[in-house]
Structure 1
Amino acid sequence: MSNPFRDRQVELRLLVVLALLCVGLALSTDTFLTMANITALLNNNSVNLIWAVGLLVVLIAGGIDISFAVASSVVQYVAAKILIGMGGGNWILGFLVCGILGTLLGLINAGLIHRFRIISIVVTIATFNAFFGLLMFMSGGRSIYTLPDWWTERVILFEHESADGTWSELTLPFAVMVVCVGLTWVLIRRVNIGRQLYAFGDNPEGARRAGVSIAVMQALAFGWCGLMAGIAGLMQVNLVQEVVPNALYGRELEVLAAVVLGGARLGGGRGTITGCVLGVMFVAVTQNGLNLLGISPFAFQMIIGAAILVAISTSSISFGNLFAKRAEGGK
């Protein structure tokens, strides 16, 4: 019989740590548990979570992708040029253009990995640099500030004014993030081809002998990651209301850290949506807490690095075994 403590031990550990962190920040700051801070936290980390569910699919399939943030930057710039050239477009065209562009960039990674039999981290390091170099060459490092009104207009889903006059609101990127998380859950848990990703990531050769197509699995994983990168790029522009070529450069590492903290195994075959969400929220709350406490942002990288080491080094400790031992000891 499946043991829930054993099956969800990573998520349970992370949930406990996240809860303790929230309690500590609530006691040490006056603003952490305010509606304004919580909604800002959700809005500002929507892009990271969209990226994270895309990366989760790649990690489940046994790959790794560090080019998704740069891919989002490329999508932003190219989509802006296309949509402005079309006279502005609308949200439907925006999602189509950005989704297609992002998927194509993801499929480039998949094609290179499959064709040349190169490990994914090497390919994505190469495309990371190639995409970024091409983007800076095309743009000359210049930002785009004149964008279609629909793209920069704030779409407010929920707003609240507190007694002190502070406004809180949830905007479109949050809703899009919820949809992306839900669709990824359906892909990996409710669709047969998605569930094959786990088998492929855990044992590629065994999955191949069972009839699973390596090319399809790689195309699905990296194509989905690219699709999420494209959508994340669209939402990032809605948040900041401009296209800055190098604004997303470097953010891939914190997203990778969050997904690994959530229990996704770098060797493939393991990872859950719940763990992914908890990992992103842990990273987000940690960064937000450091800002509220006035601690140097350089401490953020140190804390994340230490957290990853703890997560990896304690991955063999089972809550189920721990509770079983305590139960035996109490008899």
Structure 2
Amino acid sequence: MLKYVSRMVISAKGAYVGLAYPGSDGTWQTESKGYQFWTVTDANGYFWINNVRMGKYNLYAFVPGFIGDYRHNVAITITAGSVTKIGKLVYKPPRVGPTYWEIGYPDRSAAEFYIPNPNLKYVNRLFVNQTTERFRQYGLWDRYSEIYPTKDLVFTVGVSDYRKDWYFSHNTRRKNKYVGTTWEIKFNLNNANKNSKYKLRLALASATAAELQVRVNDPYWAKSPVFSTGLIGDENAIARHGIQGLYRLYNVDLPGSLLVKGNNSIFLTQSRGGNGFIGVMYDYIRLEGPLT
């Protein structure tokens, strides 16, 4: 039986809103056996979802330009021929303090970062003049090893441009074998509050057999990182010439005692090796200071 849901309201235009069953991790992304119904809010934040199959659903939403997901706190039961009005939904993106710096644009894709020209031996002429699908060229994962043959990517906040200086995939480097890599983000602090915690927001657009580790001011600091994702991802976006897979958001506490007044560095290590397709794609990174 079919029915429709009509005239719900969300507080942001251009939001993606959908009815779905939760997957194995509680989100809509990993649900593969049930039905999903999605739409986009209009300029005033209104949306309609028509012709929904009967059943009980969760309502999810996400908004380009903001990190995280919205999930309605009450399940919605759809019955034949009915109209359900939800009312106003307000999504408050996660935040604890002011933005010190950010890299990228939060849209669940790595498309805004630097995508190199392909090896001349593998050029696909369909995408030579493309500006939006350059990532579809063959073998771009190996270009990282050519562009950074001995040292990894270093990004300096306030100097570097993520559209030119942040590689679109944090994958392995090809030596005698494929090995993990460590990227460095350099930034300056006018003051470091030693008794507070800073928040590092790591939004990933994709991951494949990867482990992302975070260290502060020493790439080899202790044997244990400040944070590790553990082994994550099997999307194969790097190997399949994609630009996004499953979205993941990690909210990492950085003790102020690890930071100093002046020059600081955050090291992002993708520690797994083995082949050229292992790695992560970043969607967006932000450092928030403590609340004052």
**TM-score where L is the length of structure 2:** 0.24
Relative contact order, higher structure (CA 8 A, sep 6+) = 1
**TM-score where L is the length of structure 1:** 0.22
- Looking at secondary structure, tell me which structure has more strand per residue: 2
